[in-house]
Structure 1
Amino acid sequence: MVIKYGGNAMKSPELRRAVAREIGELRAELGVVVLHGGGPVIERELKLRGIESRFVDGLRCTSPAAMEAIELALCKLNKELSGEVGEAVGLMGRDSRLLRGELLDRERYGRVGRVTGVNTALLHALLGAGITPVLGCLAVDDGGEVMNVNADTAAGAVAGALGQGIVFLTDVDGVYRQFPDPASLAASLTRAEVEEGRAQGWISGGMLPKVDAALWALEAGAPFAVIASGMTAGVLAAAIRGEAGTRIVP
């Protein structure tokens, strides 16, 4: 199982530690790979350095100075989170070229890329030893230079490379057909139903990038993707059992 832990779902240190414990407890049932973002900690580091935070097409424009700040912030968060999960090792794209990538458009976005390859042998070796890999959303190019990658699509690439399902832990309970009516929370959606929801408008706004990430994971090879809230302790196991969140299938 791959778990994408969103930066916005980590704002509370107490909740972050609770979810980390849940991830650690899953080891008794299945191997888990965690990939995390870090929007809030990145914003804080950029502000401390006086670097403007700017987005284009939903992607954080990344100058060389911003790249240095982003890597510093994510590396610190990565080690903290792996320590909270326990029996885990924090890794970035630089480590054994774990995440390989290519830049999208240097002129438009700076050092922002997409994942083109995953060192699955390293992940399998760690999982085989009972260790949980905790990955930060940075990749390296052919020359070993680091790049910023969208955490959702990076997690989808990892799930696809491993051929495993993925849970996106975010700040919403899932996909609603009639938001905010709790009775309209969709337990499961097919790709076709997602496209229908987009066309009819009940999937819109901030939910669009979330379902796009889920569809990307399916396209990459994941058998299913779940969008669930990481804001409540205990939701992770329920999401994996199909009792929480919205499961998106081909």
Structure 2
Amino acid sequence: MLSAPWRRLALRAKPVSSAVPKTSRILLGRNLNKLSNTTTLRYSSTAGNVTREIVSQALRSIGSKRESQQWLKLFSSAQTFCVLKVGGAIIQENLEDLCRSLLFLSELGLSPVLVHGAGPQLNRLLEEAGIEPQFSEGIRITDAKTLGIARKLFLEENLKLTDKLDQLGVATRSLSGVFMADYLDKEKWGYVGKITKVNSAPITHALKAGYLPIMTSLAESEDGRLLNVNADVAAAELARALEPLKVVYLSEKGGLFNGSGSKISQINLDEEYDDLMSQPWCRYGTRLKIKESKELLDTLPQSSSVTIIHPSDLLKELFTNSGAGTLIRRGDKIQKVSSLDEFQDLNRIREILTGDYKDPNTKATVDRFMELLAANPFTAYYDDSMSCLAIVLPPSANRPIATLATLNITKSGWLSNVVENVFSAIRKDHPSLYWIVSEADENLTWFFDKSDGSFNTNGSVFFYYGCEMDSNALASIFQDFVSHGHAVIGDSNIESQLGRVA
């Protein structure tokens, strides 16, 4: 249930009947092939409604209806929804996935601002012309001949992209003259530009007219000379000018990876940046992308984020809370306290725990829960604005595993992924954890993604991580859940009402 201003965090998932591993969702890409013969639908109003219904159904296949609706509402309300950087390799290898995702966004009334490069194609053409591509400090050295080949190639790749979208019925507008630049260092890099100005007026006009604006990363000097600019750099400058909600870099790898080869789901820069940059595996392209993302986000509104994602997973990244690639945000530092005296405003904590529940017993239950916290160890996790509050009870003689006793989050806290930062902080402190959620909750899948396994009975779902279902540590807690639908933590009434995330 979502309530204003506070709600207990809603969860989403399919109900399960026994211990199971983490759930997985149906990817939208599996449904896209069914639409190969439907592109003419947009040319009549009736057919357009059919297309939009197909789009709506496809969105529901990758997440809950509430999820897709809230993200769509957020994106639709933004002046600039997204700056999308497309590398040359994506146009070369993943044009179909990219254009179908852009078709879906178009049918939803969303138009990203797209800037693309053509690096791999340029390397190939230069080698065919007997010119060895040269780089200095990661920047392509661009002489007059290289620039001439690049100019022709960029136009061809731009046309390839716009033609494909036109075939699908997506209205596009190819823009030039958006980037103004000076020479970065003519003696060192030749015709390479440093962007000094972004002419946003053509982009704004295209968006208002219902077109998807597409541009290359070539810039112009004041005297009309074309200059080569790295597409990542051009996308960042475009983002600084437009201040979008999302800055999306499409990548063949689909995200950033840590030292064990696992994809990094989210990076909270305010909390994690220094630690990440000290890791031995954070090198080369990974280190550069994190550093550049921080430099960019430090100049954008707090609500903006950077995403690195494979084009086939773009819609899953945009319209589900768990996403699919690597999400990078400035985030908020997560505070931790271990006594009630450390809270600056206890009345505020009571209000958060009470929410807008009308049950006359809620206040008394909150009072007893506060008494329990006063007499027992706990750790509370929250952000500066208190958009998310979690309270964890440590292991004890009766509970060998830590308990997530309550988790409260506002709608804005959910959309800004503060809950991800809070849960990450909890996981660092507690190698094993359990919590209980209502089976009827529409957002159950989020917790499936955070757990190692689950079990449901009596209308509730038991989640855990860091241990096995048949382990001695979990046995007594699990037995309480099977018998009563909750796990006793001293006062069963407190546990049954506050000791579950619902």
With the shorter chain as reference, the TM-score category is 0.7 to 0.9
Correspondence list, 1:217-232, <5 A: 217-221=296-300, 223-230=304-311
Q: CA offsets, 1:59-105, max 9 Å, x none? A: 110001111111111111011112223311223xxx3x311111111
- Give distance in 2, aligned partners of 1:63 and 1:220: 32
Q: CA offsets, 1:100-137, max 9 Å, x none? A: 11111111111112222111111010011111111111
* SS of equivalent to 1:21: helix
- Give distance in 1, aligned partners of 2:150 and 2:213: 20
* SS of equivalent to 2:155: helix
Q: CA offsets, 1:9-28, max 9 Å, x none? A: 3332xx21221221132122
Unaligned runs of at least 5 residues, structure 1: none
Q: CA offsets, 1:138-190, max 9 Å, x none? A: 000111111000110110111111110210001222223333135xx232332
Instruction: Establish whether residue 142 from structure 1 lines up as the match of residue 226 from structure 2.
Output: no
Query: Higher mean Cα deviation, 211-220 or 236-245?
Result: 211-220
Residue from 174, 193, 202 that aligns with 1:90: 174
**Once the 2 structures are TM-superposed, how far is the Cα of residue 29 of structure 1 from its aligned partner?**
3.9
Correspondence list, 1:64-79, <5 A: 64-79=144-159
Letter of the structure 2 residue corresponding to residue 130 of structure 1 = G
- Give distance in 2, aligned partners of 1:196 and 1:50: 45
Correspondence list, 1:95-244, <5 A: 95=176, 97-164=177-244, 165-182=246-263, 185-190=264-269, 193-221=272-300, 223-230=304-311, 233=312, 235-241=313-319, 242=321, 243-244=323-324
Q: How many residues align?
A: 239
- Give distance in 1, aligned partners of 2:224 and 2:299: 24
Segments of 4+ in structure 1 off by > 6 A? none
Q: 1:19 to 1:220 in 2, by over 3 A?
A: same
Residue from 48, 53, 72 that aligns with 2:128: 48
* SS of equivalent to 2:234: helix
Whose relative contact order is higher, 1 or 2, with alpha carbons under 8 Å and at least 6 apart?
Answer: 1
- Give distance in 2, aligned partners of 1:4 and 1:178: 26
The alignment-based identity, stated in percent, is 28
- Give distance in 1, aligned partners of 2:251 and 2:165: 18
Letter of the structure 1 residue corresponding to residue 88 of structure 2 = G
* SS of equivalent to 2:101: helix
Letter of the structure 1 residue corresponding to residue 327 of structure 2 = R
Q: CA offsets, 1:184-231, max 9 Å, x none? A: x2323325523431222332122233324423432443621111223x
Unaligned runs of at least 5 residues, structure 2: 1-81, 331-502
Letter of the structure 1 residue corresponding to residue 132 of structure 2 = E
Greater fraction strand: 1
Aligned counterpart, 1:4: 85
Aligned counterpart, 1:81: 161
CA contact (8 A) 2:116 2:217 kept: yes
CA contact (8 A) 1:187 1:244 kept: no
**What TM-score, normalized to structure 2?**
0.45
CA contact (8 A) 1:187 1:247 kept: yes
Higher alpha-carbon Rg: 2
CA contact (8 A) 1:31 1:132 kept: yes
**Once the 2 structures are TM-superposed, how far is the Cα of residue 51 of structure 1 from its aligned partner?**
1.9
CA contact (8 A) 1:62 1:109 kept: yes
- Give distance in 2, aligned partners of 1:201 and 1:51: 36
